[in-house]
Amino acid sequence: MRRLMAFTMASTQGLATALLFGLSSCLAQAAEPAASAPEKVLRVAYRQAETGFDPAYVTDLYSRNILANIFDTPLRFSYLKRPYQLEPSVTDGLPEVLDNATRFVFKLKPGIYFADDPVFKGQKRELTGADMIYSIKRHYDPQVKSGHLYRLQGAGILGLDEVRNAALKGGKPFDYDKPVDGLRLLDRYTVEIRVRNSDPRFAYHFADPMLSLVAREVVEGYAGRVGEHPVGTNAYVLSQWRRSSLIVLTRNPNFRELYYREPVPEHRPDLAEDVKKLQGRRMPMVDRVEVSIIEESQPRWLSYLRREFDLLDDLPNEFAPVAIPQNKLAPNLAKQGQRAVRYERADISMSYFNMEDPVVGGYTPDKIALRRAIALAINLDEQVRLPRRGQAKPAQGIISPGVYGYDPQLKSEMGQFDRARAKALLDLYGYVDKDGDGWRDLPDGSPLTLEYATEPDAQKRQLAELWQKNMNAIGVRIRFKIGKWPENLKAANAGRLQMWGLGWSADVPDGENFLGLAYGPSKGQSNKSRFDLPEYNRLFEQQHSMPDGPERLAIMQKMQRMAVAYMPFKAETHRVFTDITQPWVIGYDKNLYQRDFWAYVDIDTDVLRKSQSQ
């Protein structure tokens, strides 16, 4: 609500309005000069808590969306161009690609500065090529435990694996100062990267928050607490943080001159007037962003209706029939001037099996049969209809729509519901009730019990109820282990969960992002199931170096079939999302791969003021 306080509050009517909206410090703001420009505040609610703000570590969507507004990446995806298009962020043009996509030359723009911080000892700190090299090396440091290392190792940056292995074997700190052939500083602003394997899509990684540009002084000055003290060069700085509750970002005084130059979007004709109005405006246009964590769907939805938030990121599915009947914005909301942006996020919701777990893991026929039987017993149509309220479609494979490699014609066991076949598989491999208690046992006679990790919000409870119903129907015990999202993520990465249901969103518009969910070397990173099959790993590495085309597509489809055959996870749905904005939010669109969009939106103070008086 603090944005509202910035308006001149001298009048009794203005003060009454502020009190009505529950503002805590309106009297102090009322004393400000009437001529002062109103502070513009964008208020957002997220449904999951953050895990931290260290780019090399975090893998969850919500933390990455926030840190992307604090840190720059070398490249970015254009905010409004469709199809998605790479463009420079802090580089002077796109990288030069040489020698069959094994050599890349990036040139950073001079005159870009980090936000002020005590570690810089009162000096302005310019972004240089050395920062880019250091930011890449951090992923190879065993102490960092990067959640993205496998993506860089796929390209094989020359010399970095050797430095990492030396640290692992010798128990010594990673040597950041050791020169390597794959990272060369050609001058103060120019970096050459050389990779072992041809990587036609290598540049995509440099638009992802994982390669946010950090300063070495910050990492070393806040050793072990980098995620609590993010210092970057992007539009905002972290000014307040109450864990799992409130995150406040404010305008970075050192942010470079950047002006709004977006094309009028053909895919969003309703946005055309906004885009024209914003042309030439200096960014960011909003002074302050407040992100509140509200995990339960009902209070998040009701808070939005009470105008406590400007942007509802991800409409709760249970309220879709009310807010978007027939998948169109409800007339009463449209009449108020609200807007809905409906989109497929290029993601997958799935439930994984820990392949190292003694009950559900393993590669023997009996263990494969158990996982396939469990997967066949899941009624995806019921899941789409009930807890997801029609805001999803059943998945046939792990690759989502909207990325290269998706096959809309694919039909597989991953998307089938066949309870009779599930029972037959269990019977065939000895998962029968041996002690007469009504529940199936393991082939050796010991109890068969599944343990499924989940979270306490309403939708997760409904999904758990369906899992319970489906497992009961085939005579398999299941119990649920409820925890907070950050804790479950940490346990999953450590291999401590038997099963967990989660979503995965694409970082780049390419199917490799999803195939990596089963790539052995990424265990503990994207590969939560800890699946590790040599042939799958070989194919993953083979397609990685291939240009797009029929041969690469054939390998990608073969890998999808292997994932179906071994079933390390049950791919459940491809979800459809809807964001809704209040009438005074200008210029908002959903970009799946450009996460620092807050700099591109504005608050129409006239519309906001009018809404307060109604």
Q: E strands, 346-498, where?
A: 347-353, 392-394, 449-454, 477-482
CATH (domain of 138) = 3.90.76.10
* Reported pTM: 0.86
User: Do residues 597 and 587 make contact, with C-beta atoms less than 8 angstroms apart?
Assistant: no
User: Do residues 506 and 513 make contact, with C-beta atoms less than 8 angstroms apart?
Assistant: yes
CATH (domain of 515) = 3.10.105.10
Which of 212, 227, 242 is the endpoint of a domain?
227
- Same domain (yes/no): 220, 357: no
Q: Is 325 helix (H, G, I), strand (E, B) or coil?
A: helix
Predicted confidence band at 9 (pLDDT cuts at 50, 70, 90)? Answer: very low
- Over 50: is that where the pLDDT of 592 sits? yes
Q: C-alpha distances in angstroms, 15 versus 35, 309, 492, 536?
A: 17, 20, 50, 65
pLDDT at 150: 86
User: Do residues 361 and 354 make contact, with C-beta atoms less than 8 angstroms apart?
Assistant: yes
pLDDT at 491: 97
Which of 227, 253, 288 is the endpoint of a domain?
227
For residue 112, tell me if it sits in a domain: yes
Residue 438: Cβ-neighbour burial (10 angstroms; 0-12, 13-18, 19+): exposed
pLDDT at 224: 86
pLDDT of 248-266, one tens digit each?
999 999 999 999 999 999 9
pLDDT of 273-311, one tens digit each?
999 999 999 999 999 999 999 999 999 999 999 999 999
CA distance 301 to 248: 21
Residue 483, C-beta contacts closer than 8 angstroms, at least 6 positions apart: 453, 454, 455, 491
For residue 277, tell me if it sits in a domain: no
- Over 90: is that where the pLDDT of 16 sits? no
pLDDT at 38: 80
- Over 80: is that where the pLDDT of 357 sits? yes
Query: Total domain count for the chain?
Result: 2
- Same domain (yes/no): 416, 564: yes
CA distance 395 to 401: 10
For residue 167, tell me if it sits in a domain: yes
User: Do residues 548 and 512 make contact, with C-beta atoms less than 8 angstroms apart?
Assistant: no
pLDDT of 510-520, one tens digit each?
999 999 999 99
pLDDT at 611: 87
User: Do residues 544 and 198 make contact, with C-beta atoms less than 8 angstroms apart?
Assistant: no
CA distance 246 to 530: 33
Q: Report percent pLDDT > 90 for the chain.
A: 88
- Over 90: is that where the pLDDT of 199 sits? yes
Q: What is the mean pLDDT of residues 105-111?
A: 98
Which of 197, 227, 257 is the endpoint of a domain?
227
- Same domain (yes/no): 194, 67: yes
For residue 107, tell me if it sits in a domain: yes
For residue 389, tell me if it sits in a domain: yes
- Same domain (yes/no): 222, 353: no
For residue 255, tell me if it sits in a domain: no
- Same domain (yes/no): 374, 502: yes
- The average confidence (pLDDT) of the chain is 92
pLDDT at 36: 61
pLDDT of 536-566, one tens digit each?
999 999 999 999 999 999 999 999 999 999 9
- For β-strands 96-98 and 41-46, DSSP reports them as unpaired
- Over 60: is that where the pLDDT of 123 sits? yes
CA distance 310 to 608: 10
CA distance 166 to 155: 20
For residue 235, tell me if it sits in a domain: no
- Over 70: is that where the pLDDT of 426 sits? yes
Q: What is the mean pLDDT of residues 198-210?
A: 95
For residue 295, tell me if it sits in a domain: no
Amino acid symbol at 515: L
Instruction: Look up the domain containing 135 and give its range.
Output: 53-227
* Cβ-defined contacts of 249-253 (< 8 Å, 24+): 249/66, 249/69, 249/70, 249/288, 249/289, 249/290, 249/291, 249/598, 250/287, 250/288, 250/289, 251/284, 251/287, 251/288, 252/115, 253/115, 253/116
- Same domain (yes/no): 539, 403: yes
pLDDT at 612: 84
- Same domain (yes/no): 394, 534: yes
Q: What is the mean pLDDT of residues 416-443?
A: 98
Predicted confidence band at 147 (pLDDT cuts at 50, 70, 90)? Answer: confident
pLDDT of 52-98, one tens digit each?
999 999 989 999 999 999 999 999 999 999 999 999 999 999 999 99
- Over 90: is that where the pLDDT of 26 sits? no
pLDDT at 5: 34
